Amino acid sequence: MTEARPTPPAPATSGPLPPSLQFGDQGRLRHLLTIEGLSRPLITEILDTAESFLGVNAQTVKKVPLLRGKTVMNLFFEASTRTRTTFELAAKRLSADVLNINISTSATVKGESLLDTLRNLEAMLVDMFVVRHADSGAAHFIARHVAPHVSVLNAGDGRHAHPTQALLDMFTIRHHKGDFSALRVAIVGDILHSRVARSQIHALNVLGAGEVRVIAPRTLLPAFVEELGVHVFHDIRAGLKDVDVIIMLRLQRERMDSGLLPSEHEFFQLWGLNEERLALAAPEAIVMHPGPANRGVEIDSRVADGPQSVILKQVTYGIAVRMAVMSMIMGGSVNQGASQ
């Protein structure tokens, strides 16, 4: 297996992706595009707000009127089940109207530009776009060009960011493990192609996690990954020693060039999480996965379905976290959120 480390493509937008784009007047959060630039108090406020929404999800009538009269439009240029449906549920439980655009049958495939599509959708008096796109920087591009009354939530852009996934992962960790400062967290698998891993690393560092580890073959790590504030391991047994949280990532074949790794069977033998390797972690360690999980590739079924797995709970918590973000942006309750 080659030792070369491919360099991810540059974001689709020209120039850097400014975190300040997320904030409007008086520091109010207007868009959620990336974890970068979010302060610890703001992330904590999002998690606290999500905690309050867990009770709504347990009610017989799972609705609150916070966003009644608002319209949320899901623009998913990439396939998704888990993320799109939890965003849709979150908006509906806040009493917003929700539109799902089928991009494969939209005017964009007939030659209409993305900006023209946006202008037409804005003319329908939409209040928020939830955007997933294969190109890094796409959500920033859209946020730069939307009308002043419209907010943008990044539901994943290329290899760049997936902020709400990272937030729901932080919520899961806090809910089950408490204080971040005492925790060792290991992120395992395809770090190179994972927008989730980048967002998780930023969030963990902002929240003061005791140690963040990444475990992967060299070909599935970005160049200079250590500069993100992580400890790098290529041996999964050493990397999992005494950790409190294990986050497994899938192999993103759709974003890979050939020759980055051996067969899926060999990958599981070298870096997959099984019961024997899980036993190396702390006794009360939890196992997470942003999904979709490939059983027998990065995780064994007995671990995915085992007592230490919180994978399905992540999905449930994701609804509350996305409710929190939507309500805080469109309800105007967040101020002074930018990092100082």
Amino acid at 141: F
Is 8 annotated as belonging to a binding site? no
Q: What pLDDT, on a 0 to 100 scale, did the predictor assign at position 113? A: 81
Q: Which has the closest alpha carbon to 29: 323, 313, 326?
A: 326
- Is 253 one of the catalytic residues? no
- Comparing 45-54, 253-262, 286-295, 319-328, the range with the smallest average pLDDT is 253-262
Confidence of residue 336 (pLDDT cuts 50, 70, 90): very low
**Ranges of each domain in the chain:** 19-161+316-330, 163-312
Query: CA 264 to CA 281: how far, in whole Å?
Result: 24
Query: Which listed residue (30, 132, 159, 177) is catalytic?
Result: 132
Q: Give the mean pLDDT of 179-199.
A: 96
Confidence of residue 147 (pLDDT cuts 50, 70, 90): very high
- Write the DSSP symbol of residue 248: E
Query: CA 85 to CA 1: how far, in whole Å?
Result: 38
Is 145 annotated as belonging to a binding site? no
Is 83 annotated as belonging to a binding site? yes
Q: Which has the closest alpha carbon to 324: 67, 137, 77, 39?
A: 67
Query: CA 322 to CA 340: how far, in whole Å?
Result: 25
Q: What pLDDT, on a 0 to 100 scale, did the predictor assign at position 107? A: 53
Is 291 annotated as belonging to a binding site? yes
For the segment 13-64, what is each residue's pLDDT rounded down to a tens digit?
Answer: 434 455 579 998 778 899 999 999 999 999 999 999 999 999 887 888 889 9
Query: Which listed residue (70, 162, 177, 213) is catalytic?
Result: 162
- Is 110 one of the catalytic residues? yes
Query: Which listed residue (13, 34, 49, 83) is catalytic?
Result: 83
CATH number of this structure's domain 163-312: 3.40.50.1370
Percent of the chain topping pLDDT 90: 73
What is this structure's pTM? Answer: 0.89
Q: Give the mean pLDDT of 92-113.
A: 77
Q: What pLDDT, on a 0 to 100 scale, did the predictor assign at position 18? A: 58
Query: CA 156 to CA 130: how far, in whole Å?
Result: 9
Confidence of residue 210 (pLDDT cuts 50, 70, 90): very high
DSSP helix/strand/coil, 48: helix
Question: Are 19-161+316-330 and 163-312 the same fold in CATH?
Answer: yes
Structure tokens at 43: 């992330």
Query: Which listed residue (5, 28, 40, 82) is catalytic?
Result: 82
Is 84 annotated as belonging to a binding site? no
Is residue 183 predicted with pLDDT exceeding 90? yes
Q: What pLDDT, on a 0 to 100 scale, did the predictor assign at position 333? A: 46
CATH class of 19-161+316-330: alpha beta
- Comparing 2-6, 83-87, 128-132, the range with the smallest average pLDDT is 2-6
- Is 184 one of the catalytic residues? no
Is 174 annotated as belonging to a binding site? no
Q: Give the mean pLDDT of 90-109.
A: 81
Q: What pLDDT, on a 0 to 100 scale, did the predictor assign at position 257? A: 53
- Is 177 one of the catalytic residues? no
- Give the mean pLDDT of the chain: 88
For the segment 246-278, what is each residue's pLDDT rounded down to a tens digit?
Answer: 999 998 765 445 445 667 888 899 999 999 999
